Amino acid sequence: MKDYILLIDKPAYMTSQDCLTILKQRLRVKKIGHTGTLDPIATGLMVVLVNEATKLSNFILALDKTYIATMQLFIRTDTGDISGNVVENNSAFKISEESLRRVFNAFDNIQYEQVVPLYSAVKKEGQKLYQYAYKNQPVELPKRMVSIKRIKFLTYNNNFIQFQVTCSKGTYIRALIGDIAASLKTVATMTSLRRIQQSEFSIQDALTLEEITDEKSVKSHMISIVEGLKHSLKVVTITNRDTLSKIKHGKQISLPDIEVKKEVLLVNNQKQPLAIYANEKGTTYISKRGFNLDESNKD
């Protein structure tokens, strides 16, 4: 299989890009990408895309992610995590588990406007925010709406809180930790972060870098494009020759025999991916992403 999805367990203190560079060398592939950067101190699930599967990046990136995070109360760093410099120390005070659960419940299943951290790659006026930090330039931090689908308090011990959260694309856990701390009338910083799920992809099915030596070592863990998208997009089999020709050339098509969906994955009767199409109006669909069948493989 040339075009596939691979689940990786990223180690701590390595950038997501460094992880991809190692994989590209070991797997000897032309194109490689992923579906969401993890901070260097973070560990856990990286959904890696190989060759034609790199075209799936935006579709998988938009799916919800689940993390287990640890926060340390009463200190704040400039980066929002333990790798940064401590810029604020608060006197410790006793917090009851009941109070903690009440605060976490207030963040469960909500949408709110989150301030983007200064140490992030989000751009403001053509410059990444962390570049303002490095240059010590003042900048008004942007806000964006995020969804906290589920959040669960796990443990509290010696000023360290551990919790699990499922959230939308664009949510910064470092910022969420700061907001939780503010509700507790103090400050906090993130000490660890582990991504355990992205949509249907689970850390339980991931390989470590040590387990990957070459393409043979990942063969039984390759996920086809169709298999990887079947839970998030409706899969529609196309057999009509005229429609197949239109799809090949990226033209709009009509799909009158299916329930209207925002986006669909079109396959041929060999279950090879043809394209991802989006609904424009009624039964009319337009091409969003086409796959090169010369490089694709059967499911």
Please state, as a whole number, how many other Cβ atoms lie within 10 Å of the Cβ of residue 113: 8
Angular region, 132: left φ>0, alpha ψ -120 to 50, beta rest: alpha
| Gap between the Cα atoms of 217 and 238, Å rounded | 34
Q: What are phi and psi of 24, to 5 degrees?
A: -60, -40
| Gap between the Cα atoms of 254 and 21, Å rounded | 41
Residue 190, token pair as written in the block:
């993130």
Closest CA to 190 of 163, 212, 167: 163
| Gap between the Cα atoms of 5 and 29, Å rounded | 13
| Gap between the Cα atoms of 78 and 86, Å rounded | 7
Which residues lie closer than 8 Å to 244 by C-beta, 6 or more apart? 238, 268, 274
| 39 is a catalytic site residue | yes
Catalytic residue (one of 39, 108, 242, 294): 39
Q: Residues with catalytic annotation? A: 39
